[in-house]
Structure 1
């Protein structure tokens, strides 16, 4: 048809890059646009998208740093002689994080070049359904044409416009991971996994942290698992304020402190408090506004996302993957897999489509939460309570029990039990009418990401409760708990372990 390119990608995140390289591997002529619009605080980053620069990668490293700090108690209890003045240095951590991120940025540039993908560092906009207009720095407007175009622009954190001072003074996860000065006393607004992950590592790094939550934690996740995360974070000293949100933020120019006015929606009580940093993590907005979709005929939902069939919009040659898809998991591996499958269908004669069911994921709170498939609430809504059997089990990690971790002071008020609560929850949700096929897997505990990834294979293959029971556990581990689940919720028996062998049984 005389197009200059076979395939053009708008967005240099994980999904866009994976699709671009796969298309080039299959012989297509490919170009990829990537341009980072700075935050209101001037934060910007390199090639690679949210995950690499301001998401999964820096988050996981800071999470790891916080775990090392929490482990100092264990180290001392187990014989390590540590100086009494051990302190964390925020700037050193940020330098290490950003050094690794920049290394990845460079490797992605090299990867595009070696795969013969034309990289264009410019903001792309549709001029018509097959034409992209763009401007290089200080240059004139240019255009190129493509037979197929992929929208993979991801999303950006949402900051409410109706809270005076929020957009001006609050930061988001786009700013946090390269913050040049310690955050100090921090208010995290939101109950999402991003809010809890950031609040979790900030608290473990010894920055006083408060979480303001409109309603519940981890909406859309299993409620029992969410409650376990809340219980553990409170025991660690996290300060949660439910039904509370900021109504305004002002800055004291003399001290640099942020004066936050807050309101409790249940009691209508208003109060205020000063913080050094306010971090909003109340959701993300698809970064599709301004793409010129009106010049293409592509229909987007009011939230900027697309309803797609096999990653195709209503205009067949314009596709979308990743966080811009309505109702699909906003996860890096999902975007990568969907992008690769899409390209193989276009250029490789494949018919394989993306399966968005049974996608494993993990919330990297201080005690992690891994999940596959349905929550208990979703399972009941879909199949009915009478066809669902739930096997829960709560216990203390062996190592934590051995070093006698105790509740934080703020969690002890009126509570004479100062020992740390059971920090692990293992839970299988099974469908009775399908021979107790596992349709929901949930694990709250250390290293939940690693534990969940392994079990994801079994769940994806249709494992039943009996299949889990027939496997011998590795002792002593937390994961072996899934080989010995015997108590059902409907039995009314306690599912909290009384022994001290972690996830297993000592004898």
Structure 2
């Protein structure tokens, strides 16, 4: 069967590329290895983790804040099986929505493992029925990523787990060790800490979220400590043993010192993800990989085979669902003869803890390293009326602008609903707005977004009004 475009992988990058390609009149097919569309994000990543984060936040608020709000609750408890059931329903509804979109846009779906067998041919080992051989003028590799699980950590999917297994724990653990202080580890650590689990986070670097702005790292760690999370910074794991009912984790300081052991119900490995390119036949199609296993692409996301493109977690850049979506649209439009554009500096990054962390543009550390003259303006949420009303006082907003032109170079937020607030900063930076522009915009009162306005005022010359 001949197509204009075949996409291997149905995560946010793949399925969005399929929709856009179909809109542009390309005969399109998508190949998905599992029996559900949506990839990691919809099935075992973004969507289910956010469902559990919301559930655990409701419980934590009821336990910690409701009394002060004048709300009395007796016999408060956690029904973990119901929490998991609701999470699964959210996933099923979302996956069903993607299936509907494929039908609506007349995209053919093949459930099975796709392997390129030549420049224009892919063989699909179907999950059900006879294998299929498909041909296409163009291909997109959108196969995503898998958790990194070093052999020394003895990953057993029982007591030594990744985020995939953590999303289905149906009994609140007494204690959990999380290896890695990045986004995945902190989000899942937040889920279980709110429910009453003693959480220990082990991070090799000297701070959590090491790729984000340093002030964000400090603010979030301060807030997470209040939920009872223990942090072991500048520590490395030297041994992990998974037993029938527990895990034993041995760690020590990076600069030496006596090793010590933590015994917990689970050890969650959250040290990053690797591109998934296993058994795709990329070599037969002339597609090259770099030394980190990523597909090499040019500025148009073309691989070394000009009719094969790659997007999302299998290529360079941040492993973010919305980055993959932008790339999917970019490639579909490129194949259709358009000239799209992506500004990678303006792709926001979000951590869905509470408080949330959101950022776009350059960090203060990056500006210093590059020798860029800049101004910084900060505003704390504790000085904001809306935050006081909702008892969300943790965090701040920081605006970085160019010292001479006042153009906004980066915005970094820790606080309530910053995941939604960051879009305002992205929009302003897309049009190269100045801190003065942001400061002059009227923001409704009382709202969380007033913190952004105040930080922009501070960046223009210490003009914040409410501190």
Class of the TM-score when normalised by the shorter of the 2 chains: over 0.9
**Residue number among 333, 356, 360 corresponding to 1:368 in the alignment:** 356
The CA deviation at 1:302 is 2.2
Match of 1:88 in 2: 78
Matches within 5 A, 1:120-269: 120-137=110-127, 141-164=131-154, 169-215=159-205, 216-253=207-244, 256-269=245-258
Match of 1:358 in 2: 346
Q: Are 1:363 and 1:370, in contact at CA under 8 Å, matched by a contact in 2?
A: yes
For residue 357 of structure 1, give the secondary structure of its aligned residue in structure 2.
Answer: helix
Mapped pair 1:392 → 2:378: yes
Match of 1:20 in 2: 18
Mapped pair 1:66 → 2:52: no
The CA deviation at 1:23 is 1.6
Q: Are 1:124 and 1:133, in contact at CA under 8 Å, matched by a contact in 2?
A: yes
Matches within 5 A, 1:436-451: 436-451=406-421
Q: Distance in 1 between matches of 2:466 and 2:167?
A: 41
Specify whether residues 71 and 163 from structure 1 end up closer, same or farther in structure 2 by C-alpha distance, changes over 3 A only: closer
Superposed CA RMSD in Å reads 2.5
Specify whether residues 77 and 403 from structure 1 end up closer, same or farther in structure 2 by C-alpha distance, changes over 3 A only: farther
Q: Are 1:473 and 1:481, in contact at CA under 8 Å, matched by a contact in 2?
A: no
Q: Distance in 2 between matches of 1:264 and 1:361?
A: 29
The CA deviation at 1:482 is 2.5
The CA deviation at 1:172 is 1.0
Mapped pair 1:110 → 2:110: no
> Which digits, 9 at most, give the CA deviation of each residue in 1:83-121, with x for residues without a partner?
1x3111211111001011112222222221222211111
For residue 446 of structure 2, give the secondary structure of its aligned residue in structure 1.
Answer: coil
Match of 2:7 in 1: 9
Q: Are 2:160 and 2:242, in contact at CA under 8 Å, matched by a contact in 1?
A: no
Specify whether residues 251 and 23 from structure 1 end up closer, same or farther in structure 2 by C-alpha distance, changes over 3 A only: closer
The CA deviation at 1:123 is 0.6
Q: Are 1:133 and 1:141, in contact at CA under 8 Å, matched by a contact in 2?
A: yes
Q: Distance in 1 between matches of 2:68 and 2:158?
A: 45
The CA deviation at 1:474 is 2.8
Specify whether residues 52 and 218 from structure 1 end up closer, same or farther in structure 2 by C-alpha distance, changes over 3 A only: same
Mapped pair 1:271 → 2:241: no
Q: Are 1:161 and 1:167, in contact at CA under 8 Å, matched by a contact in 2?
A: no
**Residue number among 431, 434, 454 corresponding to 1:464 in the alignment:** 434
Match of 1:332 in 2: 321
Mapped pair 1:306 → 2:276: no
Match of 1:426 in 2: 397
Deviates more, 1:269-278 or 1:162-171: 162-171
Q: Distance in 1 between matches of 2:321 and 2:10?
A: 12
Specify whether residues 465 and 252 from structure 1 end up closer, same or farther in structure 2 by C-alpha distance, changes over 3 A only: closer
> Which digits, 9 at most, give the CA deviation of each residue in 1:203-247, with x for residues without a partner?
112111111111131122101111111111112321111222332
Q: Are 1:478 and 1:504, in contact at CA under 8 Å, matched by a contact in 2?
A: no
Q: Distance in 2 between matches of 1:20 and 1:400?
A: 41
> Which digits, 9 at most, give the CA deviation of each residue in 1:256-283, with x for residues without a partner?
1222222322233211121111111100
For residue 295 of structure 1, give the secondary structure of its aligned residue in structure 2.
Answer: coil
Match of 2:47 in 1: 57
Structure 1 runs not aligned, ≥5 long: 37-44, 406-421, 496-502
Q: Are 1:188 and 1:199, in contact at CA under 8 Å, matched by a contact in 2?
A: yes
Specify whether residues 129 and 217 from structure 1 end up closer, same or farther in structure 2 by C-alpha distance, changes over 3 A only: same
Q: Distance in 2 between matches of 1:8 and 1:389?
A: 47
For residue 245 of structure 1, give the secondary structure of its aligned residue in structure 2.
Answer: strand
Structure 2 runs not aligned, ≥5 long: none
Mapped pair 1:287 → 2:257: no
Q: Distance in 2 between matches of 1:53 and 1:504?
A: 45
Q: Number of aligned pairs?
A: 462
For residue 57 of structure 1, give the secondary structure of its aligned residue in structure 2.
Answer: helix
Q: Distance in 1 between matches of 2:149 and 2:101?
A: 34
Q: Distance in 1 between matches of 2:223 and 2:410?
A: 22
